[in-house]
Amino acid sequence: MGTREPAEPEAGAELAVWEFAGLLLTYWCNARCAFCYVNCGPDRGGEMRVETALALWQSLDRLAAAHGKTMRIHLSGGEPFQDWVRLVSIIRAAREAGLTLVDKAETNAFWATEDGVTRSRLELLDALGVRRLVVSTDVFHQEFVPPERVRRCVEIGRAVFGPGRVIVRWWDFLQNPVETRRLDSAERERAFRAALARHKDRLAGRAAEQLAPLLPSQPAEAFAGLHCAREVLQSRHVHIDPYGNIFPGTCAGIILGWAGQRAVADIWHELGAHWREHPVLAAVVAGGSYELLQRAKALGYEEWPGGYASKCHLCAHVRQFLFERGVWPEFIGPPECYATVV
């Protein structure tokens, strides 16, 4: 692949109204998928309290309504089904408060070990107004979650919700599952490469560390000018973690603002007016991760001699460096989104 033509940053790039919001209820996950663009796993924690979720939900609803829109909330993680009682308490509290219904509840189905429990949980979600169930499965998840649990969750889900309300990412992997944990390392690597060729994944978080080395790499210069205005300003999609950190929908670890004690609408207004003062946003909107690299070089970052597989791989590598050195802690964090430093 040759050097790409730099894209022109959108003239007068503006922050779009957030209309899709994922509440990351925890960073804990039974799995530790190589492709996890956050960095979730059994050693990660953080639990969003019911009151926190409710306050964020209200705040998000208000932001969308003030712009004549309806907020679409999805519940995610980590694995949001880790604490079933808390998940249900959050959904019930939102419903009783008259907030928007849950657009999607996401899971890897690790908990679907038995028909009766699976059915009763999904029936309760349906009764509480959850619109859609999203079940994740692919060669990466199949290293940790047996396909029969996914199949059980999907089949019972389709019976309870109706087929149109159950989304499987990805069907081809459910039809042809790979018992990844039974493969030796060479077979595992081949399976991962084949999966990456079938479905594009963002190479951030753990994927930057574990999957990027499987792909062809290029010098950082190849990503010059690939700005990220669309991803960080215009996508209309954010995630909020258990601590109230708001991230762009696809860029966990870049903190847009902290909603711990402030209304989301206030953060959105302030960011809209001042995003050029956000050191990471200003860089990636101006010139993508290559521009972030230039700014990090001034702080001691040295370009990785092996090159980078994508602009997000470059971004994740540079941000890991900045995180480890405590640069811009208000904008780069929390630790759960970055590789553990030992």
Least distance to ligand SF4, CB of residue 210, Å: 11
- Distance (Å, whole) CA 318 – CA 141: 27
Binding to ligand SF4 by residue 78, rule CB under 6 A?
Answer: yes
Judged by CB under 6 A, which of 36, 63, 87, 90 binds ligand SF4? Answer: 36
Q: Tell me: does residue 23 bind ligand SF4 (CB under 6 A).
A: no
Indicate which single residue of 61, 79, 138, 336 sits in contact with ligand SF4 (rule: CB under 6 A).
79
Residue 278 in contact with ligand SF4, rule: CB under 6 A: no
Asked if 32 interacts with ligand SF4 (CB under 6 A), we say yes
- Comparison of 10 and 51: residue with beta carbon closer to ligand SF4: 10
Rule CB under 6 A: choose which of 26, 218, 235, 289 binds ligand SF4. Answer: 289
* 3-state SS string for the chain: CCCCCCCCCCCCCCCCCCCEEEEECECECCCCCCCCCCCCECCCCCECCHHHHHHHHHHHHHHHHHCCCCCEEEEECCCHHHCHHHHHHHHHHHHHCCCCCEEEEEECCCCCCCHHHHHHHHHHHHHCCCCEEEEECCCCHHHCCCHHHHHHHHHHHHHHHCHHHEEEECHHHHHCCCCHHHCCHHHHHHHHHHHHHHCCCCCCHHHHHHCHHHCCCECHHHHCCCCCHHHHCCCCEEEECCCCEEEECCCCCECCEECCCCCHHHHHHHHHHHHHHCHHHHHHHHHHHHHHHHHHHCCCCCCCCCCECCHHHHHHHHHHHHHHCCCCCCCECCHHHCCCCC
CB of residue 263 to ligand SF4, shortest distance in Å? 25
C-alpha span between 67 and 84 (Å, rounded): 33
Stretch that binds ligand SF4, among 3-11, 31-39, 262-270, 325-333 (CB under 6 A): 31-39
Q: Strand 72-76 relative to strand 20-24: parallel, antiparallel, unpaired?
A: parallel
Smallest gap from Cβ 4 to ligand SF4, in A, equals 13
Residue closer to ligand SF4 (CB basis): 7 or 101: 7
Please work out the total of residues on this chain that contact ligand SF4, with binding judged by CB under 6 A.
26
Among positions 248-267, residues that touch ligand SF4 (CB under 6 A) are 250-251
Q: Does 31 bind ligand SF4 (CB under 6 A)?
A: yes
The residue (of 239 and 311) whose beta carbon lies closer to ligand SF4 is 311
Q: How far is the CB of 274 from ligand SF4 (least distance, A)?
A: 18
Q: Would you say 128 and 96 are in contact if contact means Cβ atoms under 8 Å apart?
A: no
| CB closer to ligand SF4, 59 vs 108 | 108
Residues 87-106: x where in contact with ligand SF4 by CB under 6 A, - otherwise, as a string: --------------------
CB closer to ligand SF4, 72 vs 278: 278
Binding site for ligand SF4 (CB under 6 A): 29, 31-33, 36, 38, 40-41, 77-79, 108, 136, 141, 204, 228, 231-232, 250-251, 284, 288-289, 311-312, 315
